[in-house]
Structure 1
């Protein structure tokens, strides 16, 4: 359908072989591939983290809030510029989402000072997203702040797998972290995610919560390691299957290389836009030299007064897919009751446009995108 899609998978024979190997073994639920993926992911992140595969990043977020014991009336601060999953898990636990602004029109990561000002005695947790894969550069300051006040810090790393700051991988700064392996992510298994923590107690709880609170998995009984199981807390079915974990193992090996390809494409985008469309604002152009992004998505700010829907339709007619990251919470029917005006987030949500970005994109295709965008903005 699309001449240039918003994203495209880097899948080949290795992924096919990995899935066929699982099918040949005839064990599809969580098993040895799951354990291997968890071990390799922990090794990749370092910092002695413990990893638990789950069915999605949303599942990881939900598990995080269950571990944090979020209950009715508790407040959880989240970024105002993020996917709705962050707010959904809060409200599903009975909590109240409190939205924080981003830093500026150039830095779309959550504003730490705004977060601090919105902390109340009811604040039990804070969820921060590394937007578009750019590390939150002052997250250590927020981590220390949370420890002083006994507030749980949860990293939403859905955009930032492979990103790092000052030598530490995103996902290793908070009490818990949640990764996404959805189809459009840098590491893609279609559906799936990872819960990460350094806390042994949290890790044990997560493994119970993802599988009905049972003390053993089906694979343990199949392998004869145990005959039965106990249920020591209420849990859910948030497991990830063997085929997706097999895909994850292959994709993890490609991650750093593909993130580097994304980096070069983003740099080319920025050069072309600076040369041809100076009215367009590109965020995160001035990042620290100790910050290594994952370059998950490429977002721009359209000039004020431009009708975004018209621009998107003109690009669509030329076969170029675009998106919006993200609509404002205040415009959602349900979340309008919680959301208040946010200086930068509101304007970004009104003007943001997401352009195609994936490892297989080429400079020539970016030239086509920029040329079409130029025509659309005339």
Structure 2
């Protein structure tokens, strides 16, 4: 008799069930699929949860970042300070806007947030904006960054792709962008949200979301608009009703899911401290977080590919968040060699462990046990 393979512990898993099925079926029955009333209700529910006046739903988190830049006319000739310790979209949207991303180092291995001291050194006369990123869902000191931006007359944007459900993003910055990709704390499969405090800039984001048209498809179809003009060169960044329906269901459950994530993260900290004390867990206990991912740092010199292979054999999925953007071939070719020593050390040692609301406490113990054995094997 062959030994049964262990059940795989997934890195991330969306929570989907009957409520989502019913919501999608209702959209099909109503026969209106493009952006409409459900998307608008989702925007309102998301804004209410985050304590802001309004939110603008879009087709992806990347589209949300692009709209932040476009709504404030950030374009050719401008420089935007960005983290290299992020998903590549944080930088690629700057390139697509015609601006130049300027990469900023992180503070250190225990706090992989953009360094405000390094950012200050990289500000030039061409700098137009700063894009901070709440790595792993751990809240940045937005007030300190707002002060830095104010000193130099710069815009402040937040990449809040990891921070859905965390009160704060978008409250004091010029704009914040959220993601609802499948592995995020809540999902619409693809989708995103933009929060902009200034009503005129927010309205510009709504305009640019849909080709710069002065009337949307729903208004035209239902006879509320007899014509339209195009007053800006916009995009097709609309969210459809199927995703809006998913979002309405998911956003109600987001606070509970985030509580579960934080409890699991705390359990990880305790288990790792007891079983694998040589592994570093970034951020101090109690740091405000949406607990999007569970990042750890392997011991210096540890063979990460071997660790990941051993854990895969034990039925535990892992990942890396993230390869440093400035070390990707395109960015080295387009923007030259950049030295970010803290980012490079963090990226070389980082490993992401499974974290999602479907995990049980026993799963955390199994993951930590697998990590302990994998590190021994890798040595």
Answer whether TM exceeds 0.5 for this pair: yes
Query: For this pair of structures, how many residues does the alignment match?
Result: 369
Residue 330 (structure 1) aligns with: 326
Report whether the alignment pairs 1:39 with 2:35.
no
Residue 344 (structure 2) aligns with: 346
| CA–CA separation in structure 2 for the residues paired with 1:319 and 1:73 | 49
TM-score (norm 1): 0.95
Report whether the alignment pairs 1:259 with 2:255.
no
1:212-256 Cα distance to aligned partner (Å, 9 max, x none): 000011000122111111000001100000011111111110011
Once the two structures are TM-superposed, the CA of residue 287 in structure 1 deviates from its matched residue by 4.3
The equivalences for 1:95-174 within 5 A come to: 95-137=99-141, 139-164=142-167, 169-174=168-173
The equivalences for 1:210-229 within 5 A come to: 210-229=209-228
- Contact 1:329 1:336 (8 Å CA) reproduced: no
- Contact 1:72 1:95 (8 Å CA) reproduced: yes
Aligned partner of residue 227 in structure 1, secondary structure? coil
| CA–CA separation in structure 2 for the residues paired with 1:284 and 1:251 | 28
- Contact 2:182 2:189 (8 Å CA) reproduced: yes
Aligned partner of residue 346 in structure 2, secondary structure? helix
Aligned partner of residue 125 in structure 2, secondary structure? coil
- Contact 1:322 1:355 (8 Å CA) reproduced: yes
- Contact 1:68 1:125 (8 Å CA) reproduced: no
- Contact 2:11 2:316 (8 Å CA) reproduced: yes
Equivalent of residue 373 in structure 1, options 371, 374, 379: 371
Residue 183 (structure 2) aligns with: 184
- Contact 2:170 2:197 (8 Å CA) reproduced: no
| CA–CA separation in structure 1 for the residues paired with 2:76 and 2:27 | 42
1:160-214 Cα distance to aligned partner (Å, 9 max, x none): 11123xxxx2232210110000000001111000011111111111111110000
Query: Which deviates more from structure 2 when the two are superposed, residues 10-19 or residues 270-279?
Result: 10-19
Report whether the alignment pairs 1:362 with 2:360.
yes
Once the two structures are TM-superposed, the CA of residue 327 in structure 1 deviates from its matched residue by 0.3
| CA–CA separation in structure 1 for the residues paired with 2:235 and 2:74 | 16
- Contact 1:155 1:173 (8 Å CA) reproduced: no
| CA–CA separation in structure 1 for the residues paired with 2:268 and 2:285 | 15
| CA–CA separation in structure 2 for the residues paired with 1:125 and 1:216 | 31
Report whether the alignment pairs 1:318 with 2:314.
yes
Residue 62 (structure 1) aligns with: 66
Aligned partner of residue 193 in structure 2, secondary structure? strand
Once the two structures are TM-superposed, the CA of residue 116 in structure 1 deviates from its matched residue by 1.7
Structure 1: gaps of 5 or more residues = none
| CA–CA separation in structure 2 for the residues paired with 1:35 and 1:286 | 37
The equivalences for 1:69-108 within 5 A come to: 69-108=73-112
Residue 7 (structure 1) aligns with: 12
Moved over 3 A (4+): none
- Contact 1:126 1:154 (8 Å CA) reproduced: yes
Residue 269 (structure 2) aligns with: 270
- Contact 1:28 1:243 (8 Å CA) reproduced: yes
Equivalent of residue 291 in structure 2, options 292, 295, 304: 295
- Give the aligned CA root-mean-square deviation in angstroms: 1.4
- Contact 1:71 1:95 (8 Å CA) reproduced: yes
| CA–CA separation in structure 1 for the residues paired with 2:148 and 2:314 | 49
| CA–CA separation in structure 1 for the residues paired with 2:310 and 2:51 | 45
| CA–CA separation in structure 2 for the residues paired with 1:51 and 1:147 | 24
- Contact 1:301 1:351 (8 Å CA) reproduced: yes
